[in-house]
Amino acid sequence: SHHTCEESIKDCFGMDILRSITYQPANNGKMSEQTLSKSCEFKRKKSEDHSHVAPEMSRIITDHTTGKCYCRGKVLGKGGFAKCYELTDLSTNKVYAAKIIPHTRVSKPHQREKIDREIELHRILHHRHIVHFFHHFEDKENIYILLEYCSRRSLAHILKARKVLTEPEVRYYLRQIVSGLKYLHEQEILHRDLKLGNFFINESMDLKVGDFGLAAKLEPLENRRRTICGTPNYLSPEVLNKQGHGCESDVWALGCVMYTMLLGRPPFETTNLKETYRCIREARYLLPSSLSVSAKQLIASMLSKNPDDRPHLDDIIRHDFFSQGFTPERLSPSCCHSAPDFHLSSPAKNFFKKAAAALFGGKKEKAKYYENLNKLTKEEDEMYKLRHDLKKTSISHQPCKQVEDTKPPIAPAGKPIVLVKENKQQIRDTIRMIVRGTLGSCSSSSECLEDSTMGSVADTVARVLRGCLENMPEAESIPNENINSTFQWVTKWVDYSNKYGFGYQLSDNTVGVLFNNGTHMSLLSDKKTIHYYAELGQCSVFSTVDAPEQFISQVTILKYFAHYMEENLMDGGDLPSVTDMRKPRLYLLQWLKSDRALMMLFNDGTFQVNFYHDHTKIIICNQNEEYLLTYINEERVSTTFRLTTLLMSGCSSDLRNRMEYALNMLLQRCN
């Protein structure tokens, strides 16, 4: 039965008992089921008596400090001290979620202190994945807390309708929860009551962490509160053992949340509260075979019995569950009541319908296009079913050769290279040794790399960039150097990986798409020639007008990407473009998006990172066995340095931070 002890306690006690379960020391500190039953009955009668005499709340509520009037609407939820109502500002029609707490429920000093603490903690929080606190006031009867209104209610309501969620949805929600939770922990605030009912969903399907009734400031281990508080199914072993809450306790609850979303029930749910607590203390639960390997691994790490063994929030997002699986950029509201069909839905759907009309004028051409599109959809069906088979996913989702942070670069003879800051000539030679040690005697980096593996491309770039960062001196500004160079870089991009793949435009107007099935296709700047890569380094060339039948659908999609970027996106900087016909064509091997930047790695070792917030970019490329770094600043002005120059002169902390972030993204993709 899903109506567990937890729900029975909720029914009897409200949220009070769940949020501060402090049992009397009798019976070894445990409440017997008989005592629990009597307490429930007493609490119910008391609650009924109280509600019988409580005065009816006014429909129109006035804030006498501001003069604003609000209209009280439907009940949104109930808690231990309060009910939550829809509340509309009559002067602006803005709708809030109002937590209304009768003074009679917080008459004792410690109860009022609890509400005041919640207000003080919540009002200072400002984050896109935290329920926004707007205002609070009180009158003779009640305290009113005005919060952000989330029209799609909570994850608990969604799971009740859906029973279980798909892995892409779980990744979508978990990313947002982790983002909000990381912000809280950075503010040294513990939530202490993470559960599906406290994750609210707004009109746009964005998740907001809410309900800070149990939140507390993070204290040193010796000063932590020992109160057992939270929802029974989500309590961590250290909280049950009265060792206090820490950030690790929130991570444990997050593991319970992930398990519940994927399987429809909490990991430690039993029909007996005592047995539930025993399972929690022993970290004993089942991981069904229906879960993917990466999901099992992530859940197991978060539900480690020892708090020190649990991952940090950044480690969670870097886990294979996220890096090797598809995460939608946006969920449809239909996901609140029915399972999504990601490969048939798309945020750019309307655009591509219009693009079809623009590209194909006649009815016959449109019919042929839709016929080919249907063929592709069947292929995607197979890929969707085999999403966790790495051979069927995008190259951008395949793991590459691991780069160990602790190991120095390896010279051709297999011996570690010792980098010495004082000897500038040695540093310059070291970088060249790293390059030559990887590339051998090839005349260009791309020739050798194309015969190698994707892992060696990433490994080479990571070694060189790390070697530079570890030995670069401190400096206050960037070097006074701006050399002329000829290389290709990404001027525009669009992520449509929720259906087809990742598209980009190079500075010579070549458009490429790395498809979700692992293949790559480029439309050259003449808009007539297609380069198709089924495997690393193996290229087929054909024209757009006589493409092989099996490629027509992909060619059509490639044209869509080209048309969309041409019509809707602007170039990303001022770098001139010169195509060196002696070099093999550039095509994308891997890409990775974080909440701060986009990383792209190409077949010749060109490595580009675009930062979202200020539109700055870093591009690393190799020319004549000399590594160059180009920095495009906020004004879209570019400067190109030799890495050996940076090794000797250093650079500003701003550029260094971007280089370090770029390296971390590269290592994250390779781990």
Instruction: Provide the CATH number for the domain around residue 88.
Output: 3.30.200.20
Mark out the alpha helices in 360-506 (DSSP H runs): 363-385, 424-439, 445-450, 454-471
Which of these ranges, 27-31, 137-141, 265-269, 478-482, has the smallest mean pLDDT?
27-31
Domain membership of residue 23 (yes or no) is no
pLDDT at 422 over 60: no
Q: What percent of the chain shows pLDDT beyond 90?
A: 43
Phi, psi values for residue 281, rounded to 5°: -60, -30
What is the reported pLDDT for 394?
A: 33
Q: Which tokens belong to 481?
A: 């150097």
Domain membership of residue 370 (yes or no) is no
What is the reported pLDDT for 228?
A: 61
Say if residue 222 is in the same domain as residue 309. Answer: yes
Say if residue 118 is in the same domain as residue 258. Answer: no
How many Å is the Cα radius of gyration of the chain?
29
* Whole-angstrom distance, CA of residue 215 vs CA of residue 121: 8
Query: What is the pLDDT confidence band of residue 139, given thresholds at 50, 70 and 90?
Result: very high
Is residue 531 helix, strand or coil?
Answer: strand
Say if residue 460 is in the same domain as residue 595. Answer: yes
* Whole-angstrom distance, CA of residue 629 vs CA of residue 465: 10
Query: What is the pLDDT confidence band of residue 518, given thresholds at 50, 70 and 90?
Result: confident
What is the reported pLDDT for 233?
A: 85
* Whole-angstrom distance, CA of residue 380 vs CA of residue 554: 12
**What mean pLDDT comes out for the span 645-649?**
86
Residue with the larger pLDDT of the pair 411 and 344:
344
Which of these ranges, 54-63, 425-434, 502-511, 601-610, has the smallest mean pLDDT?
425-434
Phi, psi values for residue 659, rounded to 5°: -65, -40
Last residue of a domain, one of 278, 308, 329: 329
Domain membership of residue 45 (yes or no) is no
Q: For tokens 């150097």, what's the residue?
A: 481
Sheet holding 520-523, edge to edge: 490-496, 501-506, 511-515, 520-523, 529-535, 538-543
Residue with the larger pLDDT of the pair 609 and 40:
609
- Nearest Cα neighbor of 347 from 484, 198, 498, 196 is 498
Say if residue 186 is in the same domain as residue 313. Answer: yes
Phi, psi values for residue 189, rounded to 5°: -120, 130
pLDDT at 427 over 60: no
**What mean pLDDT comes out for the span 402-420?**
35
Query: What is the pLDDT confidence band of residue 667, given thresholds at 50, 70 and 90?
Result: confident
pLDDT, tens digit (0-9, with 9 covering 90-100), for 614-629: 889 999 998 877 889 9
**What mean pLDDT comes out for the span 234-250?**
89
Residue 179: how many other CB atoms lie within 10 Å: 18
pLDDT at 171 over 50: yes
Q: Mind giving me the DSSP string for 562-621?
A: HHHHHHH------------TTSPPP-EEEEEE-SSEEEEEETTS-EEEEETTT--EEEEE
Query: What is the pLDDT confidence band of residue 11, given thresholds at 50, 70 and 90?
Result: very low
Helix axes 424-439, 454-471, angle to 10 degrees: 180
Domain membership of residue 67 (yes or no) is yes
Exposed, middle or buried, 193 (CB in 10 Å: 0-12/13-18/19+)? Answer: buried
Q: Please answer whether residues 193 and 213 qualify as being in contact, where contact means their C-beta atoms are separated by less than 8 angstroms.
A: yes
Q: Please answer whether residues 409 and 420 qualify as being in contact, where contact means their C-beta atoms are separated by less than 8 angstroms.
A: no
E strands present in 163-225: 189-190, 199-201, 207-209, 216-217
Query: What is the pLDDT confidence band of residue 267, given thresholds at 50, 70 and 90?
Result: very high
Say if residue 599 is in the same domain as residue 623. Answer: yes
pLDDT at 508 over 50: yes
Domain membership of residue 463 (yes or no) is yes
Mean pLDDT (the chain) is: 77
Q: Which tokens belong to 316?
A: 């969670």
What is the reported pLDDT for 499?
A: 84
Residue 443: how many other CB atoms lie within 10 Å: 11
Residue with the larger pLDDT of the pair 44 and 311:
311
CA atoms within 13 A on the CB side of 358: 12
What is the reported pLDDT for 449?
A: 35
pLDDT at 33 over 70: no
User: What residues pair up with 71 in beta bridges, in sequence order?
Assistant: 60, 88
Say if residue 247 is in the same domain as residue 142. Answer: no
Say if residue 211 is in the same domain as residue 175. Answer: yes
Residue 320: how many other CB atoms lie within 10 Å: 17
Say if residue 550 is in the same domain as residue 632. Answer: yes
Q: Which tokens belong to 543?
A: 């024209």
**What mean pLDDT comes out for the span 132-138?**
96
List the CATH number of the domain containing 232. Answer: 1.10.510.10
pLDDT at 478 over 70: yes
Angle, vertex CA 202, rays to CA 197 and CA 208, nearest 5: 55
The boundaries of the domain holding residue 90 are 61-147
pLDDT at 87 over 90: yes
Beta carbons within 8 Å of 581's beta carbon, 6+ residues apart: none
Last residue of a domain, one of 280, 308, 329: 329
Is residue 166 helix, strand or coil?
Answer: coil
What is the reported pLDDT for 229?
A: 62
Please tell me which of 125-134, 348-357, 383-392 the model is most confident about, judged by mean pLDDT: 125-134
Which of these ranges, 20-29, 42-51, 226-235, 641-650, has the smallest mean pLDDT?
20-29
pLDDT, tens digit (0-9, with 9 covering 90-100), for 561-600: 998 888 877 765 555 555 544 456 789 998 999 888 999 9
Last residue of a domain, one of 305, 329, 353: 329
Residue 167: how many other CB atoms lie within 10 Å: 19
Say if residue 78 is in the same domain as residue 168. Answer: no
Q: For tokens 């109280």, what's the residue?
A: 50
* Whole-angstrom distance, CA of residue 211 vs CA of residue 213: 6
Question: What is the tally of structural domains in the chain?
Answer: 3
* Whole-angstrom distance, CA of residue 122 vs CA of residue 208: 13
Alpha-carbon dihedral angle through residues 447, 448, 453, 457, given to the nearest 10 degrees: -90
Question: Which helix (H) or strand (E) covers residue 543, if one does?
Answer: strand 538-543
354 in a known ligand binding site: no
What is the reported pLDDT for 522?
A: 94
Q: What percent of the chain shows pLDDT beyond 70?
A: 70
What is the reported pLDDT for 222?
A: 56
Domain membership of residue 485 (yes or no) is yes
What is the reported pLDDT for 136?
A: 96
What is the reported pLDDT for 18?
A: 36
Angle, vertex CA 163, rays to CA 160 and CA 166, nearest 5: 120
pLDDT, tens digit (0-9, with 9 covering 90-100), for 653-665: 889 999 999 998 8
**What mean pLDDT comes out for the span 309-317?**
95
pLDDT at 90 over 60: yes
Say if residue 207 is in the same domain as residue 117. Answer: no
Question: Could you say which of 11, 16, 49, 193 is catalytic?
Answer: 193
Q: Please answer whether residues 624 and 443 qualify as being in contact, where contact means their C-beta atoms are separated by less than 8 angstroms.
A: no
Domain membership of residue 46 (yes or no) is no
**What mean pLDDT comes out for the span 458-467?**
87
Say if residue 182 is in the same domain as residue 99. Answer: no
pLDDT at 14 over 50: no
Query: What is the pLDDT confidence band of residue 649, given thresholds at 50, 70 and 90?
Result: confident
**What mean pLDDT comes out for the span 9-28?**
37
* Whole-angstrom distance, CA of residue 253 vs CA of residue 245: 11
Instruction: Give per-residue burial for 45-67: e unless 16+ CB within 10 Å, then b.
Output: eeeeeeeeeeeeeeeebebeeee
| 341 a catalytic residue | no
Say if residue 498 is in the same domain as residue 583. Answer: yes
Domain membership of residue 165 (yes or no) is yes
What is the reported pLDDT for 380?
A: 43
Query: What is the pLDDT confidence band of residue 55, given thresholds at 50, 70 and 90?
Result: low
* Whole-angstrom distance, CA of residue 342 vs CA of residue 335: 11
